[in-house]
Amino acid sequence: MSPAPRSGEMDQSEETVRLLAALLRQNAETQTDAILELSRAGFGPTRISELLGTTVGTTKVAIQRSRRKGAP
């Protein structure tokens, strides 16, 4: 088991998630693509917006528009 993070530091799992989200954001053509990938991976709108640095509203709209178009 890893030691608890020091004040102001994140734990290793959070660090990993944020690094992977940064890679996704960098490689996705659009923010919407990144949002939809994270949504398909099981992340909720609040967590997605937190990871991508956008608003919950933007995230929800992207997911809803995708569903209306019939995307998974």
**DSSP label at 10?**
-
Residue 9's pLDDT is 75
Residue 1 has pLDDT above 60, yes or no: no
Q: Is residue 12 assigned to a domain? A: no
Q: Is residue 23 assigned to a domain? A: no
Q: What is the pLDDT of residues 2-22, one digit of tens each?
A: 555 566 777 899 999 999 999
Q: Is residue 15 assigned to a domain? A: no
**What is the total count of domains within the chain?**
1
Q: What is the pLDDT of residues 15-60, one digit of tens each?
A: 999 999 999 999 999 999 999 999 999 999 999 999 999 999 999 9
Q: In terms of Cα–Cα distance, which of 46, 51, 55 is closest to 10?
A: 51
Question: Over the range 38-61, which residues count as b (16 or more CB within 10 Å of their CB) and which as e?
Answer: bbeeebebebbbebbebeeebbbe
Domain around 53: 32-72
Q: Is residue 2 assigned to a domain? A: no
Q: Is residue 60 assigned to a domain? A: yes
Q: Is residue 11 assigned to a domain? A: no
Residue 48 backbone phi and psi in degrees, to 5:
-60, -50
- The arithmetic mean of pLDDT across residues 59-67, rounded, is 95
